[in-house]
Amino acid sequence: MKKRIIAGLLALLMIFTLVSCSKNSSDKDEDPDVDDDQVSAPSSETKYNFLVLGHDRAANLADVILLVSFDTDDGSLTLMQIPRDTFVDYGGSHYKINSMYASAYNDTDKEKSENRDLEAARAFATKLEETLCVKIHYATVMDLDGFGAIVDAIGGVDMYVPYDMVYRDPEQGLNINLKEGQQILDGKKAEQFIRYRSGYVQGDIGRGDAQKLFMAAFIQSLKNNLSVGTVSEIVDAVYEHVDTELSVSDMIYFGKEVLGLELSNVNMMTLPGEPKTSGNSGASYYVMCREATINAIDEYYNIYDFPVTDDIFDRDQDFCNTTDPEMKEAYFTAAQDCISNKYNGQNITEGSIDIDLLK
């Protein structure tokens, strides 16, 4: 059963804040007694980009894909959700991008690989680096089994549920029944909120916006509830579910930096684009809007001393099937005409997201 939830964000925030997690693990190669006061920045750079993937164990699909940028200079955090149905050409084959993780995983050497999940995540990151002109300093991958435990470990997420959410699918073992109103969502209820999509006009896009609401509430609940005892519980809940390229000292550094993060310095967006049905195959895809994505990458993720421009971005047009007129039109849509759901974390808590519902 797939759990298409936003656990990827939890993974990143936990990694940032769980600076003591290495002290609870015997399999780390690094010194478990790293002195917090002696930890320095990983490099002279002030902007760091992360790829965060959340995959299900059954089909190995990366149904949570987050491109995250943390600017230690101005204390800002940018989160870009990449819809799981985004079209991409990988190795000469057409995929929905969530399947690219499974393909990369299958390409790893089962016998020789030390960590197939992390190798697949790095291959995923390399593809994004080569096409989107974005340097990804660290890749992190998390299976989605521990989502409820993580939410429970921080004492639940205090948020306003904007609508009644009712949906039942016995085949998936899914039973969603949430009432509108302010409440504390425990792990089971949080999963219901995140997985709900049947009542949204835009389906997965609407669910993505709902996940932004949850992310803002989660960050606030984490900041409010974080303590030594909470950290210990979170470590137990999340450690076995996360693989990351971050070293112990990296975790400590970013953990200290992110603890002062204010919601007003958090930006959340969806990869600019729109849903399209392929005229060639009839398959449904989310197609990236090229110009608007170039603008977003250049503004929020660019660490280089030159701008990200059209002539170097997605040179092989791997994010479009150019033989398909419908997809090609969406891919080359002008930035001003492209749908781009971008929000500030503080505004989200004040109700700036309005998700259209089916009548």
String of DSSP letters for 91-157: TTEEEEHHHHHHHHHHHS-TTT-S-HHHHHHHHHHHHHHHHH-----EEEEEEGGGHHHHHHHTT-E
For residue 277, tell me if it sits in a domain. Answer: yes
297 inside domain: yes
Number of domains observed in the structure of the chain: 1
From 41-50, 113-122, 327-336, the region with the lowest mean pLDDT: 41-50
- State phi, psi for 285 to the nearest 5 degrees: -135, 160
Q: What is the per-residue pLDDT for 136?
A: 97
* Of the candidate ranges 18-27, 80-89, 269-278, 279-288, the one whose mean pLDDT is the lowest: 18-27
- Bridge-based pairing of strands 273-277 and 165-169 is unpaired
Average pLDDT of the residues in 258-266 = 75
User: What CATH number is associated with residue 68?
Assistant: 3.40.630.190
pLDDT digits (tens, 9 = 90+) for 295-332: 999 999 999 999 999 999 999 999 999 999 999 999 99
Owning domain of residue 316 = 7-345
In the predicted structure, residue 148 carries a pLDDT above the cut 80: no
Of 128, 166, 155, 145, give the one whose Cα is nearest residue 49: 128
More confident residue, 222 or 282: 282
pTM (predicted TM-score): 0.81
**Residue-wise pLDDT tens digits, 58-99:** 778 887 899 999 998 888 889 999 988 999 999 888 989 999
pLDDT at 348 over 60: yes
**pLDDT tens track for 178-223:** 999 999 999 889 888 887 878 877 777 787 788 888 888 887 888 7
| Average pLDDT over the chain, rounded to an integer | 81
